[in-house]
Structure 1
Amino acid sequence: MIDYINRLMKKRYILTVIIITLVFGLLGEMYNVLIVNRLKCMTIEFNYPGAERGLNPDGSMFEISDIKAPEVLEKAKANLKNNDIDTEFLRSRVTVLTKVTGQAMDKIVSDVHNEKNSIYMPTTFYVYYSQKNKFSKNESEVFMENLAKAYTEYFTEKYSEKNDVLDFKSGSYDFSGRDYLEIYTILKNKVDSMLSYVKSQQNENRAFYTEDKVNLGMAAKQIENFRDTSLENFYAFIVQNAISKNNYETVKRTDYLVFDNFLEYRKLSDASNISRDALGQYESAITAVAYIPSVDNKRNYYMSRTKTGLDTLTRQSYSDGIEAAKTLKDIEYYQSLFAKYSAAGQSSADVNAMADSMIDELSAELEDLSKSVIKIDDEYLQHKSMNYFRIRLPENNRLNVTLIIKFMILGFIIAMAVIVFKEFWKKGVSKRLKMMKKAFSSFKVVKGKR
């Protein structure tokens, strides 16, 4: 054994092993520089509500292929030295993949086995880019950084939630052809939609505060104060004084609204009564068999109401009854307006001028309020969009020690294999080859004599 080791430890063999090992280490670094560092992968994880259902933040359908959109790639290559590369060619060098977790796959298999519809929407994607020219300047890392920024801007601008409902500009509304009651209704509907939007944002995140220490609850309170004070003061002024630009048209309009709502009330009341009467007859006829033993999808027994339509009839009757009650209140409201404006006659020009002045003040106040609330909500949307997704960029391993060591180990093994072959097997193999060659030559000579 010692003799074998001594034979392998010859100086020329040691030098050969060192040289081959170093050469393979150099090859490993060349492979890292020319191949590995030119193939980059970044990870994108989407975590906003709706991503798991394949939706964008604005509710539209999500498409990961947007990361390869021409406008995104154009921005991504803008800062590259080789920025004249064709966009379509660049698109072919970008690959997007995803991975299905074992848990998700188990659920899909289970749903298929149980004959259920199963939908799996991945929220994590892997984006690969490979630079084709391996001997030109390596810009893979720069491109991936640019691609991440370009896609973030593109996604946020195109799919982030918009707060257009909060925007109010007095110059955008022409009230010249509207009477005062109509103007009040337009402004109130606008304010109600603003308030509804802000409250929905507040319910999403009650802990959010702007840099000025203002939260969405304060913004909602500002809108409520405008609605309940300034807007209602205007309404009280025009109704109590029966102010209108055209009294005759106002009376006709309110009379029509009374009639129209009365028809709607009768329709809803009749529908509610029909459902209630049918429910009474139906339920009494099946009292004894309303509940039957049933089995759920987990093979558990439970007492189930038969599919008789009782629940549907109950809900329909209740819904129609509620709507009928609301419509009745609308009828009473329009009747009171009809009576007041019918008795008042046409309002004077001076009074109308006061109402016009109030509208101008209301519009200016609402415009200022709109700007204030938009500023608050913009900060919230910016905060919210920052958490839409997370991007992990690849690390730049200029000196990949692990890869170099692997190549050096491979070189060491090959060098030792060559030395072992040369020292222990070469003579035997050469001798056998010579014998085979000699035997083959003798065979040819004998064959030639015959």
Structure 2
Amino acid sequence: MAKNNERNLNVTIKNQEDNKDEVIISISAILKNLKRYLAIWIVIAIIAGLLTFSFSAIKTFSAKTPAKALVSFTYTGIEKGLDPKGRKFEIETMKNPKVIEKALTKMGMDLKKIEDIRTSLSFDYKIPQDAYDQLTAYNSVMDKATSGSLSAAQAMLDTKYYPTQFTVKFDFGKAGLDRQNGVDFLNTLLKCYGEYFYEEYGYNEPLGTAVKTADYETYDYAQQVDLFRNSLRTVKTYLDNLAKDDTTTFRSSATGYTFSDLSDYTKTITGIDLDRISSYITVNNVTKDKDSTLAYYNYRIENLKRDKDEYAERLAAIESSIASYEKDVVQVFGNGIDDTEKKQTVHSEQYDALFKQKTSVETILAQTKQDIDFYTSRRDALQNNKASSKANVDKVEADIADLSKKVEKLVDLTEQTASDYYENVQFANAYNILVPATKSVGAGLSQAASESVKTIVIVELLIFVIYLAAAFIAALKSENTKKPVKAGADDDDDDDEDVDLEELVDIIEEEAEKAEKQTNVKKNKKK
């Protein structure tokens, strides 16, 4: 039978003190055992992965893990951490009891849960990588800044990042709700906050309420005219500010008016209706109580004079500040070739703010002086004439009632137009619910999968290590149960020959000597 010359790669660990203590590890034997246990490993790995995922899914659906949603803000100023009114923005305003109460009312839930829900809401945000890289770069520039560019580097270092996206977390289990009601409530709360946002930063609702709810009939006729005059001034100022901020010449689809249209309408009511009633009252001395009205005029004149003195002092202080204000100095350095340096003075934001204050105070002071003259003429006319007839009183009351309806209509048009503008133009994308909370099975499975990935990886790695260890140990046992093969002996029943390095050298030398002897014998026979 032909000798099998195939040899397998073996690793022999030999004890030098005792040649008989040997541990033989065959790589081929390990590979054979890996192949042998491959199917078992795959089955066990699949079963373990499914069991781990199932456990995570059961835990997700049974445990009351907080519901989550993602919201964003994209209006001018949020990048500086400010709200639309220029104040510090706080996402915690979503916990406002008014917002929670409105959401509870829409859900038909007990309002006693307001405090439990407030304590169950939390917020989180993450700085985007590009913003983080930018801030890191600014710090690097600051570290390397030279004395000549220190101020510029410091300005960059002062740059801060303010988040624009927030994760809203609602621990509905803590609030005493189940998953379905908890998710529904969170989504309702997010919508109610959007309504609160537009009401808070959009149309000035208290303005309209104050104008429309003024119980003018309890006052004398001259005082009624003053109430409407103040209301119309307030509405006109509000409309003029909106028209100034509006760069799109917005025309409301709800009312068909622009802010300038409504401002002109306000001016018309003031200049025609209100002034006509006011002059009629003054000329005909229409009053409910002459003495009371004269006392009112005197009181108003004295107050206006004090206001005039206050505004005059304030104007003088602002003008003095402007005159003594030191403008900012900007240093322009050379390009490195020369040591030339240029300086230039520029206006700062504080300097511009002083001029705005000056203009505002001048306007108020002028208006105050006009009011003093107006009330003085009223007082003098009433003192020198008798009270009016009943017919004149009836006419004034009818005219004021008609004026009240026009003012109320103006306020309603202003409210609708402003709300339309803020919701569809100014704040069209100011507040967005990017990812609402969900209670769907698919979302639950997705959450279970994401939460179980790490566990599955650890379990699968552990099973793989056990798989390798089992193959290694099986190979070790099978190889070391075999008897060592003597030098020169043939064993056709076993393909492996386990020898160490010294025995291999001895075998080669013996075979070489045998071959040499056989060659010499053949030569002698030929001779």
Interval of TM-score (by shorter of Structure 1 and Structure 2): 0.5 to 0.7
Partners of 1:79 and 1:264 in 2: CA distance: 51
Cross-structure match for 1:439:
none
Q: Is the 8 A contact 2:100 2:189 kept in 1?
A: yes
Deviation at 1:26, TM superposition (A): 0.3
Secondary structure (helix, strand or coil) at the match of 2:395 reads helix
| C-alpha distance 349-119 of structure 1, shift in aligned 2 (>3 A) | farther
Q: Deviations over 1:311-337 (max 9, x none)?
A: 999999999887766555445444544
Q: Tell me the residue number matched to 1:97.
A: 124
Aligned to 1:45: 72
Give the deviation of 1:13 after TM superposition. Answer: 2.0
Residues 293-316 of structure 1, C-alpha deviation per residue, up to 9 Å, x if partnerless?
Answer: 9666999852569xxxx9999999
Structure-2 change in CA distance of 1:74 and 1:14 (3 Å): farther
Matched, 1:302 2:343: yes
- Which position in structure 1 is the counterpart of 2:91? 64
Task: Output the amino acid matched with 1:17.
Answer: W
Separation (CA, whole Å) in 1 of partners of 2:211 and 2:429:
31
Residues 47, 388 of structure 1: 8 Å contact kept: yes
Write the distance in 1 (CA, Å) between the matches of 2:428 and 2:449.
35
Post-superposition Cα deviations, 1:205-257, rounded to whole Å, max 9, x if no partner, equal 54363346555444444433322332232223333445444556555655676
Where does residue 143 of structure 1 map in the other structure?
Answer: 182
Change (3 A) 1:21 1:218: farther
How many Å apart are 1:107 and its aligned residue?
9.2
Pair 19,184 (structure 1): closer, same or farther in 2 beyond 3 Å: same
Distance in 1 between residues matched to 2:282 and 2:120, nearest whole Å? 69
Equivalent residue in structure 2 for 1:420, among 456, 468, 472: 468
Q: 1:225 to 1:114 in 2, by over 3 A?
A: same
When structure 1 is superposed on structure 2, of 397-406 and 18-27 the one drifting more is 397-406
1:338-366 per-position Cα deviation (integer Å, ceiling 9, x unaligned): 55445443322222221122112222332
TM-score by length of 1: 0.64
Separation of aligned partners in 2, 1:343 and 1:224: 31
Letter of the 2:46 partner, please give it.
Answer: L
| CA drift at 1:75 | 5.8
1:358 to 396, 399, 419: 399
Instruction: Tell me the residue number matched to 2:53.
Output: 29
Q: Which residue does the alignment assign to 1:435?
A: none
Residue of structure 2 equivalent to 1:398: 445
In the alignment, is the contact (CA less than 8 A) between 2:298 and 2:379 conserved in 1? yes
CA contact (8 A) 1:42 1:128 kept: yes
Q: CA deviation at 1:173?
A: 1.1
1:175 aligns with 2:223: no
1:160 maps to 200
| Residue-pair matches, total | 409
Question: Is the 1:294–1:301 contact (alpha carbons within 8 Å) kept by the matching residues of 2?
Answer: no
DSSP-derived class of the 1:210 partner: coil
**Aligned with 1:230 (options 240, 248, 273):** 273
**Structure 2, unaligned runs of 5 or more:** 1-8, 10-26, 143-150, 335-340, 481-527
SS at match of 2:47: helix
**Paired letter, 1:148:** N
Residue type matched to 2:395 in 1? Answer: M
Residue 18 of structure 1 and its aligned partner are, at CA, apart by: 2.4
| Structure 2 CA distance for partners of 1:304 and 1:242, relative to 1, 3 Å | same
Contact 1:168 1:366 in 2 (8 A): no
Change (3 A) 1:219 1:57: same
2:39 paired residue number: 15
User: In structure 1, which of residues 196, 207, 210 is the aligned counterpart of residue 237 of structure 2?
Assistant: 196
| Preserved CA contact (<8 Å) 1:96 1:126 | yes
More off after superposition, 145-154 vs 28-37? 28-37
CA shift in 2, pair 1:260/1:213, >3 Å: closer
Tell me the equivalent position of 2:431. Answer: 389
Report the identity percentage: 16
Counterparts in 2 of 1:144 and 1:64: CA distance versus 1, 3 Å: farther
Could you tell me how far apart the structure 1 residues matched to 2:117 and 2:125 are? 20
Output one character per residue of 1:154-209: Cα deviation in whole Å (capped at 9) or x when no partner.
5634872441312367774143442x332211101111212222343444554363
- Kept in 1: contact 2:34–2:468 (CA 8 A): no
SS class of match (1:390): strand
Name the CA distance, whole Å, in 2 between partners of 1:23 and 1:44. 39
Q: CA separation in 1, counterparts of 2:178 and 2:273? A: 61
CA distance in 1: counterparts of 2:165 and 2:367, whole angstroms: 48
1: distance between equivalents of 2:357 and 2:456?
79
- Higher mean alpha-carbon deviation, 184-193 vs 61-70, is at 61-70
Determine if contact 1:43/1:126 at 8 Å carries over to the other structure.
yes
Return closer, same or farther for 1:57/1:31 CA change in 2, 3 Å cut-off.
Answer: farther
Residue deviations 1:253-281 (CA, integer Å, cap 9, x gap)? 556766776677678779989999x99xx
CA distance in 1, matches of 2:306, 2:117: 64
Given the two structures, how large is their TM-score scaled by the length of structure 2? 0.57
Contact 1:210 1:380 in 2 (8 A): no
Query: Deviation at 1:16?
Result: 0.4
Does the C-alpha gap of structure 1 residues 256 and 139 become closer, same or farther in structure 2, counting only changes over 3 Å? Answer: closer
Distance 2:431 2:302 in 1: 54
Q: 1:74 to 1:7 in 2, by over 3 A?
A: farther
Structure of greater Rg = 2
1:207 aligned to 235, 250, 259, which one? 250
